[in-house]
Amino acid sequence: MDQKLGDLSHLLVTVFLSSFANLMVAPSITDVTMLALCPGQDQCSLAIYLTGSQQAVIGLGAMIITPLIGNLSDEYGRKALLTLPMTISIIPLVILAYSRTTNFFYAYFVLRTLTAMASEGSINCLALAYLADNIPERQRASAFGILAGVGSAAFVCGTLAARFLSTASTFQVAAVVSILAAVYMRVFLKESIPNGDGLRQPILKGEPDDFKYDDDRVQNTSQAFKRIPSIGDLICLRRSSVTFSQATVVSFFNSLADGGILATLLYFLKARFHFNKNQFADLMLILGVAGTISQLLFMPILAPVIGEQKLLSIGLLMGCASMFFNSIAWSVWVPYACTLFSIFTVFVQPSLRSIVSKQVGANEQLHLYSSCISQHFSFC
């Protein structure tokens, strides 16, 4: 038990460092984009279009790549497949750490789009599957909440660092920490391969040999490629489980809204209230502190008492209220006030993950997490 807790602590440290590196650049990227594309302006339609299209391409690419990474991790282990996304996510940060001129920004934009297809969703889902491999079903809601809380803590620390660092230093520190996260993971994290214990009735149905795990390692790689869920598999998955189908619909519309607000809100605040990097950092800091406290303290207490379904309903309702008031912000204090809604909106993703995770066994966790993965329309 002590060794297992130690392994999970290494996972949490890995997630913290990786999230810290990738999230600390968030307050600066809007200003960097505006400076590269529309120098000296507070409004830039091109920046919004490029950001939105980038997120769409990343989401579509992740839907193809993440299932492959998930299947390979079932064969070769979570740690082995974590190496790829954590390594390639370093490249875009290094580019902007070196220079943020227009040409380097376009190089960053292209490489960020390509690398994020494999890294943005995969790291999170592999971490979730690692937890599911090692945590009993009854404790998963709390464990997922703690993992999300660690991500929020990384967000807070990264934002706080960005608040006091220059833009150049922010990207340099992010690149170094991203490298440190990959090295730490390779050195300290123990491998985890699902063993199929506690398997319930499979959600994914097909031929008797579908999704069968061979001991013959010679054929594992080709079989992993063949077991990438097809469109028919995903349709079958949704029809075979009412709970999963409902969770997918909820996640689709919730993440669609989140993706839209993510692509436009910072540019809206810059155009409407002339926000800059420091004000973005202040806003995100409040958001992150509220989310961290909620996920690390409130959710582990509330989940066993009122259940994931009620937590999900509360989170969705508060998310709607937050988006509405942000969309009609009439004063500079309104976006700051809306950040308090994050105390409740952070319940959504851990609740969805826990609800759906209980429908399957260990060997199906990655199929489940990766079947709808993308920033815009997945519950990962």
Length of the chain: 380
Alpha helices in the chain (DSSP H): 2-23, 26-37, 45-76, 78-88, 90-98, 102-119, 122-134, 140-164, 167-188, 220-226, 231-240, 242-273, 277-293, 299-327, 333-338, 342-345, 348-357, 365-370
Q: How far is 48 from 363, CA to CA, in rounded Å?
A: 40
Domain locations in the chain as residue ranges: 1-192+227-372
Instruction: Give the mean pLDDT of the chain.
Output: 76
Is 60 exceeded by the pLDDT of residue 110? yes
pLDDT tens-digit series, residues 334-345: 888 888 888 888
Tokens 């960020």 locate to 112
Residues 198 and 207 sit within 8 Å (Cβ to Cβ): no
pLDDT tens-digit series, residues 311-340: 888 888 888 888 888 888 888 888 888 888
Query: CATH second-level architecture of 1-192+227-372?
Result: Up-down Bundle (1.20)
Segment 304-314 shows an average pLDDT of 81
Report CA torsion sign: 359, 360, 364, 366: positive
Is 70 exceeded by the pLDDT of residue 368? no
Label residue 77 left, alpha or beta by phi (over 0 means left) and psi (-120 to 50 means alpha).
Answer: left
Is 80 exceeded by the pLDDT of residue 220? no
Segment 339-368 shows an average pLDDT of 70
Segment 189-212 shows an average pLDDT of 51
Segment 213-219 shows an average pLDDT of 46
Which pLDDT score, from 0 to 100, does residue 203 have?
Answer: 35
Q: What's the predicted TM-score (pTM) here?
A: 0.72
pLDDT tens-digit series, residues 188-200: 888 877 655 443 4
Which pLDDT score, from 0 to 100, does residue 344 have?
Answer: 84
Which pLDDT score, from 0 to 100, does residue 197 have?
Answer: 47
Residues 92 and 111 sit within 8 Å (Cβ to Cβ): yes
pLDDT tens-digit series, residues 61-92: 887 787 788 778 877 888 888 888 999 999 99
pLDDT tens-digit series, residues 240-291: 667 767 777 777 777 777 777 776 788 888 888 888 888 888 888 888 788 7
Q: What percent of the chain has pLDDT over 90?
A: 14
Is 60 exceeded by the pLDDT of residue 373? no
To the nearest 10 degrees (0 to 180), the angle between helices 45-76 and 102-119 is 40
Q: How far is 43 from 272, CA to CA, in rounded Å?
A: 9
Which pLDDT score, from 0 to 100, does residue 235 have?
Answer: 58
